[in-house]
Structure 1
């Protein structure tokens, strides 16, 4: 009894000492854990997040994809609007080129190019969207074959397994645009169906999604950007009488995710055809669009496959919300690609157009529009093109980093991005890594009888895409 009591007393006497030690250790562990958790909750250990985000905003975009894998905190930071707004404030945004290709199975894929590192990244595939008109036709046929003894699930399974099921996006004849840091794919054509659907790719989230559809279904329409809004003009539409050209126009506001109507585009010179036969045979179509001097310039042609007749164009004035006739020299001299398409781009306020070679033995040239004289002048007489008549777009003009670029695909499937540099600037050590080209000074310095010796084409990136064709390109600054 006594021994037990003494044991209990001795135990109690040691208890405060043990509790004191354990409490000290516990406090230390809590401090360490809380400090560790605090460090873990920060983007960069021992740095405030406000300072860390300043550092991350200066990281090149090419590193962002791998940087997202560091932690959930980093992924959240690299997909936040705060980071990209800060990049813009700091002047650290980067212009990337987005190139669209089409393989032999008519699968469309987008590829992003960082011109600084010359590295390519493939975008996620565009989602499939069933054309509503084709879908209605297909399902009307579906319900006609359903009998009371047949299970609907079995019918759906067999129907969607058919090879002649409705085709899905991407269709042919889509239009493309880039506004507010996102890439857009609009409309298109599938069988006898034109679509009004709009897909948007967000490079920040690296994700496609469907946004508000256009007011009208259309394919082969033209797009342009004004005041951070996406304009869509013309194209073709499928109605009861078959395909017909469109004169309608509409505008998309990305901040509101909404479309609104724009006055229909007139075809002033289409009304002066000599007889009713030609008027019925040749259909007016928009064959290009460029945002130039705060207005939309839309060259036009009269079309009846395989014939095209250029008829000038129209200019949209956003301030008055109206169309005016394009200056005669601009419309009549606008360089044209095969099939009547006008290939043009605005770089540093100057409007450039590509005049393709008349034969495979000759080189094309690039012209610039002189607004004062209302005429087009040749600034580059030899452009390295490959004659690929079977290709939809064997070459494309683009403008980024303040320079004029030419994108071409050769016979071996290699897509090459070239930059037009002034030879004298490219050899100057003070000109920096990107010699000045594609601007007013470029036009003035190359306004010579023969400009072959003043311009050098520099390859900034190339990639072998095999049998894939070059379709289109866009530029996004983030």
Structure 2
């Protein structure tokens, strides 16, 4: 059986009386994060442990990490994106439904527009964006364990509205830059090695899509898909080969998407959630969710929350407010190969001023 790290925060008294602190950490690390606010009230030692790297290391070693959803919003009165994390309270009554709410976290220190995002482990990378109407090479990293921002290694060129993807513990970024010089053209695609904190160019052929801004991206089977307004490109990381996106996928992919079990899900202009089965090369409507969701989902954004499809959208609030809604959907293929969904829960999770919009949602393991 896996064991927790052998050191615990120094304390005047044991974390749990009559137990060594190593054993106490092993026990506490198994408690679901929804109970952590209550646990932090037990003692100062508990409060310190629950916000320490030791606990997160123990949870990872024990296989007790849980998916957590993070959301970025654009607000009309703020130059920086507003960041939130989704919290589901633990109700002592098993028959009572959980309540889901978004809680704010510190905004990014340097605001930008048109950034792209990537999640790797407990970290969220905010890549580039426009600062004072100039594409920026800056990278900011949100450590979701402690909700702290830190600067990351800058890219070789400035980018806005780029595509990104994580493959093999590395962060790839494609496009979002003008190729008006040899240097920029050579770095149209780059890869970040987080351990070495260095960027390296990814050789790419001269293709028409390099002159366009990216509107969406996804990773399927270690292949990074980058979509422009029309047309797209695929980079096979393992083979180091570039290909054009097949027309069937190009014609059906609209807006922000996510991938679950090799199926790319997105929300189309007809008000349907559809999935593209990459192996079969066809789009299929997600069935079973028609009665549980509104007919049209404004600003729909999607994420993969531990194998479940999370859909976040903008709803109508009262007066000058907009409601942010979220639904978690268990998805699968039935015996006929059709895509079927079952809504686990759906709830209004935040009210914000009109004129706000959803930028992105990402899931991390904590």
Tell me the TM-score normalised to structure 2 length: 0.80
- Structure 1 residues 56, 185: closer, same or farther in 2, change over 3 A? same
Q: Give the deviation of 1:386 after TM superposition.
A: 5.2
Paired residue for 1:299? 227
Instruction: After TM superposition, give the deviation of residue 186 of structure 1 in Å.
Output: 1.5
Residue 253 of structure 2 is matched in structure 1 by 335
Q: Please state if 1:348 is matched with 2:348.
A: no
Structure number having the greater helix percentage = 1
Deviation, 1:473, is 1.0
Shift of 1:368: 1.5
Contact 2:101 2:350 in 1 (8 A): no
Q: CA deviation at 1:50?
A: 0.9
* 8 Å Cα contact 1:347-1:439 kept in structure 2: no
Question: Deviation per CA, 1:197-220, whole angstroms, max 9, x where unpaired?
Answer: 111111223211112111111111
Structure 1's 330 and 213: CA in aligned 2 closer, same or farther, altered over 3 A?
Answer: same
How many angstroms does 1:187 deviate by? 1.1
1:6 counterpart residue number: none
- Across the two proteins, how many residue pairs are aligned to each other? 337
Give secondary structure in 2 for the equivalent of 1:236: coil
Bigger mean CA deviation after superposition, 319-328 or 203-212: 319-328
> Cα distance 1:456–1:203, how it changes in 2: closer, same or farther (>3 A)?
closer
Distance in 1 of aligned mates of 2:41 and 2:180: 49
What residue in structure 2 maps to residue 226 of structure 1? 167
Partner of 1:108: 81
Find out whether 1:466 has 2:359 as its counterpart. no
**1:414 matched to which residue of 2?**
323
> Could you say which structure has the greater relative contact order, defined with CA pairs below 8 angstroms and 6 or more residues apart?
2
Q: CA deviation at 1:385?
A: 5.8
Alignment root-mean-square deviation, CA: 3.2
Is contact 2:102-2:349 (8 Å) kept? no
Distance 1:41 1:474, change over 3 A: same
CA deviations on 1:266-325 (whole Å, 9 max, x unpaired) are: 536x69xxxxxxxxxxx5333321110121122233xxxxxxxx23x2211112323123
Structure-2 separation of matches of 1:445 and 1:40: 59
Higher strand share: 2
Tell me, in whole angstroms, the C-alpha distance in 1 between the residues paired with 2:64 and 2:137.
Answer: 36
Unaligned runs of at least 5 residues, structure 2: 1-9, 91-99
User: Could you tell me how far apart the structure 1 residues matched to 2:130 and 2:272 are?
Assistant: 32
d(CA) in 2 for partners of 1:286 and 1:441?
33
Structure 1 residues 206 and 66, CA, compared in 2 at 3 Å: closer, same or farther?
farther
| Distance across 1 between alignment mates of 2:195 and 2:252 | 34
What is the Cα deviation at residue 465 of structure 1?
Answer: 2.2
CA gap of 1:297–1:266, structure 2 versus 1, over 3 A, is: farther
Structure 1 residue aligned with 2:33: 61
CA distance in 2 between counterparts of 1:45 and 1:405 reads: 41
Mapped pair 1:78 → 2:50: yes
Cα distance per residue 1:157-178 (max 9 Å; x no partner): xxxxxxxxxxxx3111111121
Q: What TM-score, normalized by structure 1, do the two folds share?
A: 0.63
Match of 1:121 in 2: 103
Q: Is the Cα–Cα contact under 8 Å of residues 182 and 203 in structure 1 kept in the other structure?
A: yes
For structure 1, the residue ranges without an aligned partner over 5 or more in a row are: 1-37, 128-168, 272-282, 302-309, 337-341, 358-363, 389-393, 421-436, 448-453
Distance change (3 Å), C-alpha of 1:386 and 1:410: farther
Q: 2:62, 2:348 → 1: CA distance? A: 27
Per-residue Cα deviation, 1:21-56 (whole angstroms, up to 9, x for no partner): xxxxxxxxxxxxxxxxx9724323332011110122
Partner of 1:194: 135
- Does structure 1 conserve the Cα–Cα contact (< 8 Å) formed by 2:275 and 2:339? no
- After TM superposition, give the deviation of residue 369 of structure 1 in Å: 1.5
Please point out which of 277, 292, 309 is paired with 1:404: 309
Superposed, which structure 2 residues align to 1:23-422 within 5 Å?
40-64=12-36, 73-74=45-46, 76-106=48-78, 107-115=80-88, 117=90, 118-127=100-109, 169-237=110-178, 248-264=188-204, 266-267=206-207, 283-301=211-229, 310-311=230-231, 313-331=232-250, 333-336=251-254, 342-357=255-270, 364-380=271-287, 382=290, 384=294, 394-412=299-317, 413-420=322-329
Q: Deviations over 1:105-133 (max 9, x none)?
A: 13421110034652432112221xxxxxx
CA contact (8 A) 2:262 2:278 kept: no
8 A Cα contact 1:232 1:250, kept in partner: yes
Q: Partners in 2 of 1:45 and 1:378 — Cα distance? A: 56
Q: Bigger radius of gyration, 1 or 2?
A: 1
